[in-house]
Structure 1
Amino acid sequence: MYTLIFTTLGFMLVFRMARAAVRFWDCRAAWGAIIFKSYSLCDNAIVAIGPIAPSQAEELVRWCVAFGVGVKCVLRRERFPFEQVAGFLGADEVETMEKDAKHFALYPSAHHPVRKMEPHMAAQLMQTMEKDIAALIDHCGTMERIKATRLPIAYVSHLRTILMGFVLCLPFVYEGYWGWGTIPAVAAMAFALLGIEGAATECENPFSPKRTNHLGMDGFCETTQREVMELLQWWRKEEGEE
């Protein structure tokens, strides 16, 4: 009977860990998509719009960089850091955002200048940029849904109850077979089983800035800024050669 209980417990732990791993990977994939879409959006702004309407291209790039930082702030529930967007946004713009915005990620997307562009700009280009902006918002929403939707408490509490009962009963069940070896054997079994549950809990919502195993969202924002700066340097170099 105890072996059958262990088999059932094993299936429940595998499901728990698999769901946590899927959630972690979905969040990482969403951040990768945000970096790529931000790069694509800024590339279109600099290369296609910059020669025609440089001020609008500059505004789009600035708020595109702010979007990634806004997503991080929403997921971590922290204030918008001016230091992380210095050089892209002014202190007055960040202050206005903190005062007026209820959602730091949606505020930059609502202030992008794509819909304000001149009619002579290519409709296909504007449509592509609109899709990129919609994709950025969608990926942000994906991570917000993951953060707000955990596994049902009924499943988690049931699993933990069975898990603790199984571990606590191990010494009484196997003491007659293992003797003094029961102590290290039970310790190893408890470490393995409780470790799986702990790892699943750790990876379920990987947004904390203080946990080693969580996503390095500050690094993702810096990657976006670095790639945008490389685009700007390339464009200035091309202009200089011309």
Structure 2
Amino acid sequence: MKHNSIDTTAISNTTNCIVVVVVVIVINIDIDIDIDKYSDFPLVQSMMVAEKRRTLALTNEGAKQMRYPKSNTGWIKTLFVFEGRALGRIRLPWSVVMAWAVFWAVVYETYFRQRISENGTGGVPVGSNLRQNYVESMLELVISTTLGFLLVFRLNRSATRFWMARASWGIVVAKSRTMVGSILLHGSHNAHHRDQAIKWIATFSIASMNFTRGTTGGIDPETVEGLLTRDQLADVNGAAHSPLHSADRIRYHLSELFAPSFEFNTDWADGDGCNDYDDYDASRSTPPNNKKNNDSTYQYIAANHRHRAARAISISDFRSKQLISLENQLNVMIDEEGAMERIKGTPLPMVYVTHLRTWLMVFLLSQPYFWEQSLGYVTIPVVGLMAFALLGLEGAAAEVEAPFRRDRTNHLNMNSFCLTVLSNILQQMREDADRRMKTKSSGSSSRRMARGTD
């Protein structure tokens, strides 16, 4: 019985392994079939093949922001975070305040406490003590009120800059979608320039991310796998301004795709042997010396040419308008990338920051003097908490005023934005390809049915 039980377990485990292997093989076959059906759409294929590696590379690169708890995850998680508090920005001033608090507490308790207790008021009249307490209270009130206004202003300005940067990224993402949608719908007449324009639109967001971060070494090849060739990647990494290089490439391919053009042969009007006239006569057994038939043929050809000319002019006009619209959207993307550069390159004026930090340190360094007599050594943790609260506000403001760094948890999750752009573009391209294949298949079926009816 024991031997049979072991055999049954072994058979069950083997069966499970076989099922898993078969499922994996079937999934891989389905993926391959899904990719193979886009053989007429090479950019869709290349993006689908490299999608997992590209996503993994961007996710690992932006892991600092992606995997850290967000501010909307609830009280418990937000209370017990450490790195997200940006303590590194207040470590030095907080240490100075704490060192001064410890120093003053030790000196006061060692040298002044006993003398004051022995002398009562220390030989100072009661009226003088009252005036001194009044002056100290007013001084603390004035300083704390001023600091409150300065801290609110500082934090508000930094939060505004953070949301301006986020809004700029939102516009870049939205414009990428709308541009790709228009190009797919109206640019099918030139697949090469259509695909090139789309791949550079996708690259623009990644180039903007790396440029605003000041990434050394350029774009990671894995993050643009399936998009750029080796030479194209070398060109964009070698450019002094990679987003502008990407925008220039977009502009070039848009001009090739939608540039107005009108080429039309009007030799028929000269009566010197138009090909259309000859083709028309050759397709019909009409004697060329029959004046009536010749006049009819000439009128037909003239009408046909007028129709073709009107159609060519209409198409050229439409493409011109489409090009202008796409150019405007591209200019908006460039403007928003420039807005992020402006935020990064323009900190708050020094007068705001230095005035706030000076009086903040004066206020905190004066607190041991105000509290030591009544609190004793408890002054040290009290001043420490007060310093942590006020310096934390200043640290939070400094942390988010230029939110583009890769190694800061509070900065913009730009890798996620780039993944959104790539995912949206791939979805749009696949849906466009599916629609065109379905339309082509329906047209073929209709023609076969028509031939069968005949």
Q: What corresponds to 2:429 in structure 1?
A: 232
Runs of 4+ in 1 over 4 A off after TM superposition: none
Residue 90 (structure 1) aligned with residue 242 (structure 2) = no
Q: What corresponds to 1:200 in structure 2?
A: 397
Q: 1:81 aligns with which of 201, 207, 220?
A: 220
Shift of 1:179: 4.0
TM-score (norm 1): 0.95
In structure 1, distance between residues paired with 2:235 and 2:343: 29
Shift of 1:235: 0.8
User: The residue matched to 1:111 in structure 2 has which SS?
Assistant: helix
In structure 1, distance between residues paired with 2:229 and 2:254: 21
Unaligned runs of 5+ in 2: 1-138, 261-315, 440-454
Q: What corresponds to 2:168 in structure 1?
A: 30
In structure 2, distance between residues paired with 1:91 and 1:26: 34
Q: What corresponds to 1:161 in structure 2?
A: 358
In structure 1, distance between residues paired with 2:159 and 2:259: 46
User: The residue matched to 2:242 in structure 1 has which SS?
Assistant: coil
Shift of 1:82: 1.8
Residue 49 (structure 1) aligned with residue 246 (structure 2) = no
Q: For 1:47, give the aligned amino acid.
A: L
Shift of 1:96: 2.1
In structure 1, distance between residues paired with 2:374 and 2:153: 31
In structure 2, distance between residues paired with 1:138 and 1:215: 19
Q: What corresponds to 2:153 in structure 1?
A: 15
Shift of 1:53: 1.7
User: The residue matched to 1:206 in structure 2 has which SS?
Assistant: coil
2:212 touches 2:341 (CA, 8 Å); kept in 1?
Answer: yes
Q: What corresponds to 2:301 in structure 1?
A: none
Unaligned runs of 5+ in 1: none
User: The residue matched to 1:105 in structure 2 has which SS?
Assistant: helix
Residue 147 (structure 1) aligned with residue 365 (structure 2) = no
* Residue-by-residue CA offset, 1:185-223 (whole Å, 9 max, x unaligned): 222211110000100110011111001000111111111
Q: For 1:91, give the aligned amino acid.
A: R
In structure 2, distance between residues paired with 1:164 and 1:223: 44
Residue range with higher mean Cα deviation, 18-27 or 156-165 = 156-165
In structure 2, distance between residues paired with 1:206 and 1:171: 35
In structure 1, distance between residues paired with 2:141 and 2:374: 15
Residue range with higher mean Cα deviation, 88-97 or 113-122 = 113-122
1:38 touches 1:224 (CA, 8 Å); kept in 2?
Answer: yes
User: The residue matched to 1:63 in structure 2 has which SS?
Assistant: helix
Q: What corresponds to 1:134 in structure 2?
A: 331
Q: For 1:169, give the aligned amino acid.
A: S
Shift of 1:176: 3.0
User: The residue matched to 1:213 in structure 2 has which SS?
Assistant: coil
User: The residue matched to 2:372 in structure 1 has which SS?
Assistant: helix
In structure 1, distance between residues paired with 2:328 and 2:223: 26
Residue 211 (structure 1) aligned with residue 392 (structure 2) = no
Q: For 1:55, give the aligned amino acid.
A: H
In structure 2, distance between residues paired with 1:30 and 1:118: 29
2:177 touches 2:425 (CA, 8 Å); kept in 1?
Answer: yes
TM-score (norm 2): 0.51
Residue range with higher mean Cα deviation, 118-127 or 207-216 = 118-127
> Which protein has the larger Cα radius of gyration, Structure 1 or Structure 2?
2
Q: For 1:66, give the aligned amino acid.
A: T
In structure 1, distance between residues paired with 2:236 and 2:164: 28
Residue 59 (structure 1) aligned with residue 196 (structure 2) = yes
Q: What corresponds to 2:419 in structure 1?
A: 222
Q: For 1:201, give the aligned amino acid.
A: A
Q: How many equivalent pairs are there?
A: 240
Shift of 1:125: 1.5
Shift of 1:180: 4.5
Q: What corresponds to 1:106 in structure 2?
A: 244
Shift of 1:174: 2.2
Q: For 1:28, give the aligned amino acid.
A: R
Percent of residue pairs identical: 36
User: The residue matched to 2:143 in structure 1 has which SS?
Assistant: helix
Q: What corresponds to 2:39 in structure 1?
A: none
In structure 2, distance between residues paired with 1:83 and 1:2: 57
1:80 touches 1:104 (CA, 8 Å); kept in 2?
Answer: no
Residue range with higher mean Cα deviation, 183-192 or 64-73 = 183-192
Shift of 1:40: 0.6
User: The residue matched to 2:206 in structure 1 has which SS?
Assistant: helix
* Residue-by-residue CA offset, 1:11-31 (whole Å, 9 max, x unaligned): 001100000000000000100
Q: Considering only aligned residues, what root-mean-square deviation do their CA atoms show, in Å? A: 1.3
* Residue-by-residue CA offset, 1:39-71 (whole Å, 9 max, x unaligned): 111111111212x22212111101001110111
Shift of 1:127: 1.4
In structure 2, distance between residues paired with 1:185 and 1:233: 62
In structure 2, distance between residues paired with 1:141 and 1:96: 21
